[in-house]
Amino acid sequence: MSTPFIDPRRPRPRIRPVKAMRHMQNLLNDKEDTEQVFHIMDCLNGNNIERKLKAFVKTEEGAQCFERRRFLPEILDDHETLKKLPDGTVGRAYVDFMEREGLTAAGLVEESEKWYDANQKFDDDLEFFGYRMRDTHDLLHVLTGYGRDQLGETSVLAFTHGTNGGFGNLFIAYIGARELAKLSDNPARIMASVKEGRRNGKNCLSLMQEDIVKLLAEPLDDARKRMNIPEPVAYKAALNMLNEIGYDGQLSAA
């Protein structure tokens, strides 16, 4: 597969920074309102996902991905099967993370559907590729070591920008980090976590090109080494600093 199918009825993407700021404020007010993320991406990412798709399908991994066309939430939410994997594998770590955080892959789908319900859907390759980006987000938390606290979310989005691009990812990361920096006497350490995430994302193998089923069965330490995903040193240092002032994982001190 060298040329993806993109529905010609799709409107050309437009950059809408004012609307993005409104949705960003909504997200700052409630970090669990994941729907806002999809609005921000739509406002700021332009044709980034289309460019990434066209490059992806030309790779061997990309061609195989579209040939399989796996619906990842069904695989990722099958915790019973994933719990049969050996201790220390990516899949076992993923289940532990999702159950600890009270998350499901289907839940992220549901949040994205709130955005899709307000926009026309297209059953094309671009839509499938966008779903893959969405459905691997929480898996990326496990691989990178970034938590679901506000600093972890901003850092993993910076990591995503380093790997996949998309100005929306970077915008959310820096605005979120800027808000967190107001809590600290050392804001540079907060920003260092975001910069580290972006740098690490640029230097690693892309999760998008992984066979997710095989990855889930791989030892986590081996997967991180193979994909060149280092320990998030700056994130951990900044998180320790925030915890000392009673950081509750969001944008206010406890």
Tokens of 91: 């899949």
How many whole angstroms separate alpha carbon 11 and alpha carbon 18?
19
Task: Assign 47 to helix, strand or coil.
Answer: coil
How many whole angstroms separate alpha carbon 38 and alpha carbon 180?
22
What's the pLDDT score for residue 249? Answer: 62
Q: Tens-digit pLDDT profile for the chain (254 aa)?
A: 678 999 998 888 899 999 999 999 999 888 888 889 988 999 999 999 999 999 999 999 998 999 899 999 999 999 999 999 999 999 999 999 999 999 999 999 998 887 665 566 788 999 999 999 999 999 999 999 999 998 999 999 999 999 999 999 999 999 999 988 888 888 999 999 999 999 999 999 999 999 999 999 999 999 999 999 999 999 999 999 988 887 766 543 32
Hey, which residues does 219 pair with through a beta bridge?
89
How many whole angstroms separate alpha carbon 91 and alpha carbon 69?
20
How many whole angstroms separate alpha carbon 190 and alpha carbon 183?
10
How many whole angstroms separate alpha carbon 50 and alpha carbon 206?
16
User: Which helix (H) or strand (E) covers residue 152, if one does?
Assistant: helix 150-164
Q: Find, among 238, 127, 242, the residue nearest to 191 by Cα.
A: 238
How distant, in Å, are the alpha carbons of 38, 160, 243 from that of 14?
14, 21, 40
CA 65, 168, 48, 220 torsion: positive or negative?
Answer: negative
What DSSP state is assigned to residue 219? B
Tokens of 41: 């991406």
Tokens of 28: 């700052």
Which amino acid is located at 111 in the chain?
E
Domain ranges of the chain: 17-243
Angle of CA points 59, 61, 63, to nearest 5°: 70
Which amino acid is located at 31 in the chain?
K
How distant, in Å, are the alpha carbons of 12, 20, 125, 126 from that of 8?
10, 25, 12, 11
What's the pLDDT score for residue 254? Answer: 26
Burial letters 197-227, b for 16+ CB under 10 A, else e: bbebbeebebbbebebeebbebbbeebbeeb
How many whole angstroms separate alpha carbon 147 and alpha carbon 156?
8
Angle of CA points 160, 161, 162, to nearest 5°: 90
